[in-house]
Amino acid sequence: MISMLDYDDCYSKTMPMNDSAVDPRQRLVLAAADMLRQRGLNATSVREVAKLAQAPLGSTYHYFPGGKPQLISEAVQLSGEQVARYLTRTFAAGPRDGLLAFVALWRQLLQDKACRAGCPVMAVAADDSAADDDAPMLAAVAAAIRAWQQPLGDSLVTAGLPAARAARLATLLIAAVEGAILLCRAQGNTTALDEVAEELRLLLDNALAGVAAQGEP
Amino acid sequence: MISMLDYDDCYSKTMPMNDSAVDPRQRLVLAAADMLRQRGLNATSVREVAKLAQAPLGSTYHYFPGGKPQLISEAVQLSGEQVARYLTRTFAAGPRDGLLAFVALWRQLLQDKACRAGCPVMAVAADDSAADDDAPMLAAVAAAIRAWQQPLGDSLVTAGLPAARAARLATLLIAAVEGAILLCRAQGNTTALDEVAEELRLLLDNALAGVAAQGEP
DNA sequence: AAATCATTATAACGACTGTCATAGATCAAG
DNA sequence: CTTGATCTATGACAGTCGTTATAATGATTT
């Protein structure tokens, strides 16, 4: 079974956003992602991101001439890719182990940050006004979600499910886990995520048991 | 079967937030809820809410001496209660019909607002910084979620499921639907919600079929 | 050493935010 | 009619927002 708590691979506990060994540009992106996680899009200001990254404010517009939309988009993209890599790795061991790892990832984050954290990608999805300049941000969010659905769907297909069902289940897993994160934020504990995880586990076992029964007579 | 598109009971298409027949105080709350839906917490300004409600800015602090936190809290509370009433009514006809109505409610909203809308309750959950003054808002969100879980859980228990399982399933339904709304916002269509709805329907049928098989031998 | 480039520092711009104070209007009760 | 309470109107406060301009720095290359 995959070690499902190698949380550092996706989100290091000591984020290098103020580690001067990392170049300032990446520090800014990491700081933006961390702030999105806790405060949401509109409460994440360029000034505070720069301060958190220990970079001068002027540098922000040097590295990101597109301004805040570009900075946020890159933060969403980076976070999305990190999660996508994690999902690809963990779901390679099968949907069941993948789900456990997926849940464990977010559970750890919620616990570390006292349920004051969330997912940067969903923060942007929930908070953007979908105006003119927000288009690149929304595009980054949509791309991240697609990149998450891929490994989940592949894993379910490999396990024997039809493609259409696998795609639907992948969407459900992502929606349910992300929704549970919101519930946890509101309630201040991880109960909702635990309950959702248990039901999703039962659901997967059920779906895959049907495949096994049909596949080996 | 319950008419699952009486959307106006929960969220009127022509919101009375600028209907001068409604008293200004309630107009402000309705306008705040509508703005939360589309823009999120931090992008919802007191000035714009007042403008949308066609109420003077000064009136806002007359009716809501607690300021923005009070206004937002009441908007969350109102929206939460509306949805809770809708859930109580629709899930009384059984979990399956309730789920269909639940999904239809949000699907209609997404379609009407070109996927630019969401749930005010979740908007606050995703966007609050959990600071000092945000406590009443978070409390309103948590209360709303509890009020949603109740009718879902009751309906599932009535249908024959054990209490613990019913509670978990209720949480899953809420988390999955709310998460799907986020995905729809990001992707600009209602595909995610439709996929999630289909899987949740299968899941419910499965769980309830198990009960029926066990209940009538 | 000189010149070119990337980066920083500083300050400021206009627009917006939540909040409040105060003066004017409206209207019911005495 | 007058008093008192409720509501509106207006404008301002201190602060933050995203963004930009410009000058000073630092490093790299010629």
Q: Is residue A171, in this structure, part of any structural domain at all?
A: yes
pLDDT of residue A24: 81
Contacts of residue B196 in chain A, CB cutoff 8 Å?
A: 168, 171-172, 175-176
Q: How far apart are CA A143 and CA A81, in angstroms?
A: 9
Protein B51 CA to nucleic acid C27 C1', in Å?
A: 25
Q: CB–CB of B128/B150 below 8 Å?
A: no
CATH number of residue B159's parent domain: 1.10.357.10
Q: Is residue B1, in this structure, part of any structural domain at all?
A: no
- Nucleic acid strand C within 7 Å of A40 CB: no
Q: What is the 3-state secondary structure (H, E, C) of B57-80?
A: HHHHHHHCCCCHHHHHHHHHHHHH
**pLDDT above 90 (res B22):** no
Using pLDDT thresholds of 50, 70 and 90, give the confidence band for residue A153.
Answer: very high
pLDDT of residue B6: 38
Q: How far apart are CA B77 and CA B212, in angstroms?
A: 37
Protein B155 CA to nucleic acid D26 C1', in Å?
A: 69
Question: Strand C and chain B: which residues 56-115 have CB closer than 7 Å?
Answer: 57-58, 60-61, 67-69
**pLDDT above 90 (res A216):** no
Q: CB–CB of B91/B152 below 8 Å?
A: yes
* Partner-chain residue, chosen from A40, A142, A186, that has the shortest CB–CB distance to B141: A186
B125/A182 touch (CB, cutoff 8 Å), yes or no: yes
pLDDT of residue A97: 96
A39/B192 touch (CB, cutoff 8 Å), yes or no: no
Nucleotide nearest to A44 (CA to C1'): D17
- Nucleic acid strand D within 7 Å of B43 CB: no
The 10 Å CB-count burial string (b at 16+, else e) for B50-75 is: bebbebeeeebeebbeeebbbbbbbb
- Nucleic acid strand C within 7 Å of A72 CB: no
pLDDT of residue B132: 66
Ranges B49-63, B99-113, B121-135, most confident: B99-113
Q: Which H or E element spans position A146?
A: helix A135-158
More confident residue, A8 or B23: B23
Contacts of B162 (CB under 8 A, 6+ apart): none
pLDDT of residue A129: 73
Q: Could you list the residue range(s) of the whole structural domain that residue B197 is in?
A: 7-215
pLDDT of residue B119: 95
Nearest chain A alpha carbon to B197 = A172
Using pLDDT thresholds of 50, 70 and 90, give the confidence band for residue B2.
Answer: very low
Mean pLDDT for all residues in chain B: 88
Q: CB–CB of A190/A82 below 8 Å?
A: no
The predicted-structure confidence for B44-102, as pLDDT tens digits, reads as follows 999 999 999 998 888 899 999 999 999 999 999 999 999 999 999 999 999 999 999 99
Q: Is residue B196, in this structure, part of any structural domain at all?
A: yes
Q: DSSP for A155-187?
A: HHHHTT--HHHHHHHHHHHHHHHHHHHHHHHHH
Protein A105 CA to nucleic acid C18 C1', in Å?
A: 37
Residue with CA nearest C1' of nucleotide C16: B45
A186/B38 touch (CB, cutoff 8 Å), yes or no: no
Residue with CA nearest C1' of nucleotide D22: A58
Q: Return positions of chain D under 7 A from a protein CB.
A: 7-11, 16-22
Question: Strand D and chain B: which residues 55-94 have CB closer than 7 Å?
Answer: 55-59, 62-63
More confident residue, A132 or B122: B122
pLDDT of residue B7: 34
**pLDDT above 70 (res A180):** yes
Q: Is residue B2, in this structure, part of any structural domain at all?
A: no
Mutation for testing the A interface, residue in B35, B199, B201, B205 having most A CBs under 10 Å = B199
How many structural domains compose chain B? 1
Average pLDDT over residues B115-123: 94
**pLDDT above 90 (res A5):** no
Q: How far apart are CA A192 and CA A121, in angstroms?
A: 20
Q: How many CB pairs under 8 A join A and B?
A: 165
User: Looking only at Cα atoms, what is the longest distance across chain B?
Assistant: 68
Using pLDDT thresholds of 50, 70 and 90, give the confidence band for residue B4.
Answer: very low
The predicted-structure confidence for A181-214, as pLDDT tens digits, reads as follows 999 999 999 999 999 999 999 999 999 987 766 6
Q: CB–CB of B156/B165 below 8 Å?
A: yes
Q: CB–CB of B171/B107 below 8 Å?
A: no
Q: Is residue B113, in this structure, part of any structural domain at all?
A: yes
Q: Is residue A28, in this structure, part of any structural domain at all?
A: no
Protein A17 CA to nucleic acid C10 C1', in Å?
A: 24
Q: Is residue A111, in this structure, part of any structural domain at all?
A: yes
Mean pLDDT for all residues in chain A: 89
Q: Is residue B166, in this structure, part of any structural domain at all?
A: yes
Protein B33 CA to nucleic acid D10 C1', in Å?
A: 27
- Please report which residue ranges of chain B form alpha helices under DSSP H: 24-39, 46-52, 57-63, 68-91, 95-112, 120-127, 135-158, 163-187, 191-215
